[in-house]
Structure 1
């Protein structure tokens, strides 16, 4: 058995689901972050057990041919990107293998059943929304993401995956705080006011929203608004109250507009979508059009029957399908999202209906014969009640879009056991330099 704090040499032969390199010494697996297959490294054991050990790189003895130099100086410590040190082609190979593993854990499938990953032509500067934590170290404000598996904030001088317009907020906010040192919330003592900084950007309209989450009511000083006005894109400032010191939920229902417009606007397929602070919108601004073009092609809806778009969010997918004609209904449980979707439909005179209700409640109360149903649930996947309602509703076609292969595979197993056939699985790299993929699946009932 390996000894803690001892160093060893190993060849990295595989990767874990979160992207850490895996070595094997005498049949014992060791997971080592920031290493990739092909590396030969010296590492230190930081945690060990009879089943698995964890290590930290001391020295790279021989680099993998797929190793590249990350453009981000904090890539090895920040918990945001786990794969910046790996070439794009090697990232795709890893993600394809992991997707197959996740699916095969629940359904009978082979690699040939999965389409090649649609690559991002622009894998940098793509994020249009970032939720950043605030902390203080020796009187210095730190803004950034947490280190992996911790609540230690890694200060982010610049982030190469976020839009430049969002990145410009960071030095401005730091300088404002230096001049106006309002206490930063301390997770251990539960003292302080400022907790999180959320940035949202709409590149088509060049509009920026800033949301400051606080632990207590916070009268916004004019000095902060004045500082942010240095940015031409700045349109909205919200204050969000998160009074529960034990909760790490960044955005709550206690939102108030401190300055500017209540929403920013983004355009997709000639449809303008108003975006409120909590409304869901795909996070990769540079690949979103390709995503939905592919989605429409995969579903191949001919306008007959009814198309139900569950978890419709701001209606991006719903309105894209509604332009084809036919009966289209979007369902979402978040009032702000439905309000935004209705506003977009009215603005562009698109015939689509939107309902504010949970997906499982709606399906249990409404019947639409010969329907096609789309689902795009959160990472946790479909609620068990919704899966049963889907099976009972028996739509001719189900389209499932997911950012979690594990919960997707779990839910597909239920649908396949109910008689559905998987027609197509198409992954797309919406999350470059991370282990994640967006996955689109089309299922159909035989003889439907």
Structure 2
């Protein structure tokens, strides 16, 4: 049956995809329905049509899932941050199990992989220790919030229920002060306006917040004074929780948040997170797991898998969170990190924790493995971004050093499936996969996978 834009049809939802969109089929033709849950019957309007699929918007629920719940966020339907608040948490975990199984078995072709149940998160609300707030001038108005789903239109945001409550507290005060000022917001179309973003990071164990103003150029004297006055007022209002404030200047027209120049306005420029006897320092721009309690579980899993190894190569190391756990079990670790501020935190963290069996290298993993890494490694641990490992990294692992074991930590089942297939061509078999829910209220899922020769 041919579907045209605007057509109204009734669909039965059979499954969901990695974007938490319901999937229905009409005469073999796929229709994606954002916001629909498995087992629901919905009346929809077709809003997008492609050669092999359509996208539809729910008009009415004819049969609702028993797992459907009321979202907590008042801007949930528009915001691009979460996509599963309309599902009960037990159902979210079930969906994530099916997503990781689909990626590993169907895409990765691992027919006999041992996939453990998803480990639920300790916290399902208020867990996230990082917020990137967009400041934009759009349609004649200044807006503060998150991007709408699939666009750069900013959805005004007063609070976010998945954020650490301390971040919400600081942001509420910051928002009021900034909107009462006449500081200009960034206009993407014209490339004008001062404030681009606010980044807020929190330490769960130390109850501290760092704030960074991301601005498009050097502020003039009046603007600098306003930024300073707002920040100092904020410090008085939310003390002792605000640990420090920084200004980062990013004049580029691209989407990358950070510019090359950062200055401290006042206070500390790092946070400290504690994992038992390990203290980890990280800066506001460093990669650090956003769900700290769940990250601690993940580090323990990785360290347990690697505990019989003597020589470890760790790629995409960040500030050394997992490195510290690996170093406690192994003779020596070579840790590679590309982002220089994170690399500097990595070095500092090893020194401050008295860990002296780690060699840290700064550079892109795909470049470092060609020129700066040699010798024998029992195991390689990789924790790449969502895009997965560079092909040169996989080639180096499979053909050059050929360790007996590889631990792949993934936040994207699709790239995990892709990369594990390549490693399989080099003789590695997937022994087990342990998914963890690091991102409640979203369809994202983390996995720790062990591959062996």
TM range (shorter): over 0.9
Q: Is the aligned partner of 1:408 residue 2:416?
A: yes
Q: Cα deviations across residues 257-302 of structure 1 (Å, max 9, x unaligned)? A: 22221211111232111111222111112312111112222x2422
1:193 is displaced (CA, Å) by 1.1
Q: Is the aligned partner of 1:427 residue 2:419?
A: no
Q: Is the aligned partner of 1:397 residue 2:405?
A: yes
SS at the partner of 1:81?
coil
For residues 113 and 396 of structure 2, the distance between their equivalents in structure 1, rounded to whole angstroms, comes to 31
CA contact (8 A) 2:377 2:401 kept: no
CA contact (8 A) 2:186 2:195 kept: yes
Q: Structure 1 residues 112, 46: CA separation in 2 closer, same or farther (over 3 Å shift)?
A: same
CA contact (8 A) 1:143 1:154 kept: yes
User: What are the within-5 Å matches in structure 2 for residues 68-107 of structure 1?
Assistant: 68-107=69-108
For residues 32 and 315 of structure 1, the distance between their equivalents in structure 2, rounded to whole angstroms, comes to 40
Q: What is the aligned partner in structure 1 of residue 230 from structure 2?
A: 224
1:249 is displaced (CA, Å) by 1.1
Q: Is the aligned partner of 1:294 residue 2:301?
A: yes
User: What are the within-5 Å matches in structure 2 for residues 40-439 of structure 1?
Assistant: 40-110=41-111, 113-136=114-137, 141-218=142-219, 219=224, 221=226, 222-229=228-235, 230-231=237-238, 232-245=240-253, 247-297=254-304, 299-304=305-310, 306-351=311-356, 352-364=358-370, 365-391=372-398, 392-439=400-447
SS at the partner of 2:293?
coil
SS at the partner of 1:439?
strand
CA contact (8 A) 1:100 1:110 kept: no
Q: Structure 1 residues 121, 373: CA separation in 2 closer, same or farther (over 3 Å shift)?
A: same
For residues 263 and 399 of structure 1, the distance between their equivalents in structure 2, rounded to whole angstroms, comes to 29
1:348 is displaced (CA, Å) by 2.0
CA contact (8 A) 2:324 2:355 kept: yes
For residues 329 and 288 of structure 2, the distance between their equivalents in structure 1, rounded to whole angstroms, comes to 21
| Structure 2 gaps, min length 5 | none
Q: Cα deviations across residues 368-389 of structure 1 (Å, max 9, x unaligned)? A: 3252111111111111111111
For residues 29 and 329 of structure 2, the distance between their equivalents in structure 1, rounded to whole angstroms, comes to 56
Q: Structure 1 residues 100, 71: CA separation in 2 closer, same or farther (over 3 Å shift)?
A: same
State TM-score, norm by structure 2: 0.92
CA contact (8 A) 1:45 1:55 kept: yes
Q: Calculate the aligned-residue CA RMSD, in Å.
A: 1.9
CA contact (8 A) 1:36 1:64 kept: yes
SS at the partner of 1:151?
coil
For residues 410 and 303 of structure 1, the distance between their equivalents in structure 2, rounded to whole angstroms, comes to 26
Alignment coverage as a number of residue pairs: 442
| Structure 1 gaps, min length 5 | none
